[in-house]
Amino acid sequence: MKTHIANTADVVVHCSRKSEYRSPFGAQQTGSYVTISIDVDCQIEQVVLCYAYGLYSLEYNELPCRKEKADGIRWCATLRMPSEPGLLFYWFCLRSKDCDIEKIVDPSCHDYLYRNLEEGKTYLYYVASWEGDDGRGKFAFTAPKVGVTEEKYPHAFQITVYEKGFHTPDWMKGAVMYQIFPDRFHRDSNFSFASMKETELQRPERITHEDWYEDVDIEGKPETGYLACDFFGGSLPGIAEKADYLQALNIDVLYLNPICEARSNHRYDTADYMNVDPILGGKEGYKTFSRTMHESGIRYILDGVFSHTGADSRYFNKLSRYPNAGAYEAYTQGKESEYASWYSFYRNEDGSVGYDSWWGFPDLPNVKENDLSYRDYILGPEGVITRWLRGGASGVRLDVSDELPDSFLREMRRCVKEATSGEGLVLGEVWEDATTKISYGNYRDFAFGRTHDTVMGYPFRAILLPFLKGEIDARTWALTMERHRENFPDEMFYCMMNLISSHDVPRAITILAGKPDPGDRKLQQELVLSESERKRGMTLMCMAFAIQMTYPGCPCIYYGDEIGMEGYRDPFNRRTYPWGREDEQQKEMLAEYRRLSGLRRENEVLRNGEIRILLAKGDALVYERYLNEGKKDHFGHTCQGAEKVLCIVNRSDKMSMVADIDPLDGSVSVSWQEKKEETAGVNEKRFILKPLSYEIYIEV
């Protein structure tokens, strides 16, 4: 069967990202009205707008479109969005006599048409095409599949319907973020190896590194094996001592991996939610950190792990290291414990004790988030979240959000907002498109204004790195990013944590320029970038950062990315920052990061201005950020700095790119040459970019 089933694709047109076909653009508030239009330039009896809406279940309906003019080609329908947040999928069905539909469809495809004998009509569907410019659709012989358990093809057009009045913190919109893995960033000036070594007395499985520049452990102690329990002594006061460094990078907000007391170095096995890990400086060290950050004008958010705790914790207490009985002792020994109801235990066939744990890891027992005593402990008036926020945090990042019940997430957001007069942030770990994320048998309530303010931008990373590596072209990047812009509420889109590295994925430079992951930890440790790979990788990292800094959302730097730290998956993406050992290449790269982040700070258009993609083809990418009338950004705020900024990227590693931009309509034409041209055009802006380079042009 042919991929293109029509005689001419332009006979029917709907472009979801053009206001003439769908108005207003993008995601919509509950109860708002949207006018949807389609051009049908042929004889047809009826055009029907088909739609399904809801969240935990979908309702299917049809609305006949009306002709805008009796002799015209435009058919229209106006829908009032549902009163409850959720998803609205839509598509069109053309219904007419056999001969009318057959004129549209290639003769070789006539046998695939659906013919309704009762109506005496033949059907042809018009659905979404993820390859269509401006959201242009395509023909299909069957209706889209949009149910949770269905194949999701053909694709439907999507409108994300979010809670009326949904608002995210203004301080987060367009902010520059910096992520720190606390043990590996910086030791404070009062660091004592002897004191760190003493912690092995209470937790003998720990390995302590006296040498800050030593590589991470991959074996553990012989009696335990690898447990991610090696420590270098980075601390919260150590971060505070680098406040000037963070300010020079123009950082607005820090995201810290967990800081609560825990057994491991990553601390996702929480031992005590109410206590800052002593090895990080304890409560006094936290106060110093918090005070310094606020004095430096840098906000911070803390990592919250609420789907599980550590087995070695005051709540579970499997290893009996805490004085009061935990849930494990309550189940196995009959002791009383206030935490007994938090976990699910059972007996295996051999009589041994079993319990629900995160992905089967016995060190991470799952909690029952619907247990009311657990909810009160975390979300109550004197609970964990409120205490963190009163202590100076500006928000919380939720570990594995998609494994927390929607009702828990909704209560979490209410708790954060009440504790901060509405200014606190809820950032969720969701790796896929949060608007259509499915888990536990349902579309999830992630992007509709009731749970998260925003989510981690793993999809941003997933499309940017392949583009820079040459695995996809600029058009594919643009189509994907425009689909995200269309589907996310603006309040969330401009807060998106646009990352390229994190503690959970390999370092970006290793992905961009290194060899494929060999899988084995020993081999991962031994593989480092060659001199040529490193040079290319640092060039590509700067290109990635240039796009991060000029695209809407919150560009997030994972500590060390600014100097090209490398490494495969955990634990190699969690090495120590090499203070004092940066080479000249790294210093140059850091200077460029500072320059680019400085441009964003000086020109607020790069934070919350509008975006328009001018050209995305092959290796060439050109887009502009611009302000509305009166130097207003997308949210109506008056901005400082330039009114317009151009971002021009040449992804080719062989050819120079000449981009001519028409000053009247903004259209772009590109030519390629092996040698750099010296003269510029007379009537046009001309930009000449060498291979693997970018230009950020500030219009004065």
**Closest to 574 (Cα-Cα) out of 152, 37, 185, 93:** 185
User: Token pair of 99, please?
Assistant: 């001969």
| DSSP tag of 307 | S
Contacts of 393 (CB under 8 A, 6+ apart): 290, 300, 301, 302
Rounded Cα–Cα distance for residues 246 and 239 (Å): 9
DSSP states of 531-597 as a string? HHHHHHHHHHHHHHHHHHHHSSSEEEEETTGGGT----STTGGGPPP-TT---HHHHHHHHHHHHHH
Rounded Cα–Cα distance for residues 493 and 507 (Å): 24
- Cβ(36)–Cβ(165) under 8 Å? no
Is residue 151 classed exposed, middle or buried when 0-12, 13-18 and 19+ CB atoms within 10 A define those classes? exposed
The answer to whether the bond into 552 is cis (omega within 30° of 0) is no
Rounded Cα–Cα distance for residues 506 and 85 (Å): 36
Pairing of strands 442-443, 438-439: antiparallel
Which contiguous run of DSSP H or E holds residue 510?
helix 508-513
The letter for the amino acid at 93 is: C
Rounded Cα–Cα distance for residues 93 and 671 (Å): 42
| DSSP helix/strand/coil, 517 | coil
Pairing of strands 66-67, 74-80: antiparallel
Rounded Cα–Cα distance for residues 168 and 491 (Å): 6
Residue 343 to residues 44, 308, 321, 334, 456, Cα–Cα distance (Å): 62, 9, 18, 15, 28
| DSSP helix/strand/coil, 254 | strand
The percent helix, strand, coil of the chain (3-state, each to 5) is 30, 25, 45
List residues bridging with 439 in a β-sheet. 442
Residues in the chain: 700
Contacts of the segment 145-153: beta carbons below 8 A, 24+ positions apart: 146/52, 146/58, 146/87, 146/89, 147/58, 148/438, 148/441, 148/442, 148/443, 149/441
Rounded Cα–Cα distance for residues 358 and 235 (Å): 27
- Cβ(541)–Cβ(512) under 8 Å? yes
Ordered alpha helix ranges (H), 249-371: 282-295, 327-333
Q: Which residues are catalytic?
A: 399, 429
